[in-house]
Amino acid sequence: MSHCELSEIIMQGKTIVVTGGTSGIGEVAALALAGMGARIVLVARNKGRGEATLARLEQQAPGVGHRLHYADLAQLAEMKRVAVEIAAAEPRIDILINNAGAMFANREVTKDGFEKTFATDHLSYFVLTAGLRERLLAAGSARIINTSSHAHKTAQFDINDLQSTKNYTSFLAYGRAKLANILFTRELARRTAGTGVTVNCLHPGFVATRFGDEAGGLIGHVIGLAKVLAISPEEGAKTLIYLATAPEVATKSGEYFYKSRRTAPARAGRDDAMARALWEKSVALTGVDWV
């Protein structure tokens, strides 16, 4: 049996929740996984974009009941509301792909008082996973996949300045949020060991998507120009799809992947004490009941 045939058997009847599935690597992965037989539950922030991706999913894999929920994942109340909505609608979730992400040239603060990159790229992963954890456990065997980035390699945390009030640049804040993805993956893996739920994260490569288009400023222009050097969304989605489908990943947890291979994150991404501290801060900041 070929790897493709095996993946199709594994994906038949699976329910997959995807954030950031209306564009870029998330959309490519959602369409590919639907093509293998999965039912996709999309989280979108924009009606037109959400409906367009839902229509593509219906065309790719009709009649399995793909679903669309709306939330601005930069806003705490919306993260919580959409998690409650999905948990009410889905008795069982086989795969959660936390993939929504963005970068901002200027420091922006959400109405909850969070720096916007930290809110979108880390807190949304934390809050959505917390709200769906019982549904993932109900699947018996489930996977959580967090899209991180090699951008974490230049980042360090000041655990007392997670909102980047002291030294904001778009790349520093983005790197910190992507480091948070790795530390969250690590701590969650420790906490879910032996439950049947695994969690891994990845770097997709430098990919020509809409990433950076809303960044604004010089960084937006630089990313736009650099995209001529980037790989395609189809290529960039490969590791996401691998983590969702590969049988050999079923027993792996807490790892960082690039090009469908395990790789070591930077030293700051292997700091278990920092991973615990970030968890505790994330609980305190969001008020999520997840001790």
Ligand X SMILES: NC(=O)c1ccc[n+]([C@@H]2O[C@H](COP(=O)([O-])OP(=O)(O)OC[C@H]3O[C@@H](n4cnc5c(N)ncnc54)[C@H](OP(=O)(O)O)[C@@H]3O)[C@@H](O)[C@H]2O)c1
Query: Is residue 24 near ligand X by the rule CB under 6 A?
Result: yes
Stretch that binds ligand X, among 6-14, 16-24, 265-273, 276-284 (CB under 6 A): 16-24
Stretch that binds ligand X, among 5-13, 72-80, 137-145, 255-263 (CB under 6 A): 72-80
Residue 145 to residues 29, 130, 186, 228: CA-CA distances in angstroms?
12, 14, 12, 28
174 annotated active-site: yes
Instruction: Write each residue from 189 to 228 as x if it is in contact with ligand X (CB under 6 A), else as -, in one continuous string.
Output: --------------xx-xx-xxx-----------------
Query: Is residue 29 near ligand X by the rule CB under 6 A?
Result: no
Do 284 and 159 touch, CB atoms closer than 8 A? no
Do 104 and 215 touch, CB atoms closer than 8 A? yes
Using CB under 6 A, count the residues that bind ligand X: 26
**Torsion angle defined by CA atoms of residues 75, 76, 78 and 83, in that order, rounded to the nearest 10 degrees:** 140
Retrieve residue 53's tokens.
């991706």
Retrieve residue 65's tokens.
């009941």
**Among 129, 149, 170, 192, which residue interacts with ligand X (rule: CB under 6 A)?**
149
Residue with Cβ nearer ligand X (139 or 148): 148
Residues 242-261 within binding reach of ligand X (CB under 6 A): none
Retrieve residue 269's tokens.
């991404």
Q: Quote the least distance from Cβ 181 to ligand X, whole Å.
A: 8
Query: Is residue 45 near ligand X by the rule CB under 6 A?
Result: yes
Among candidate residues 70, 125, 168, 174, the one labeled active-site is 174
Q: Which residue type sits at 191? A: R
Q: Which of 194, 190, 177, 204 is nearest to 24 (CA)?
A: 204
Task: Specify the length of the chain in residues.
Answer: 291
Q: How far apart are CA 114 and CA 117, in angstroms?
A: 8
Query: Is residue 147 near ligand X by the rule CB under 6 A?
Result: yes
Q: Quote the least distance from Cβ 273 to ligand X, whole Å.
A: 25
Q: Quote the least distance from Cβ 275 to ligand X, whole Å.
A: 19
Q: Which of 7, 14, 28 is nearest to 249 (CA)?
A: 7
Could you give the residue numbers annotated as active site? 174
The residues binding ligand X (CB under 6 A) are 20, 22-26, 45-46, 49, 72-74, 99-102, 120, 147, 149, 203-204, 206-207, 209-211
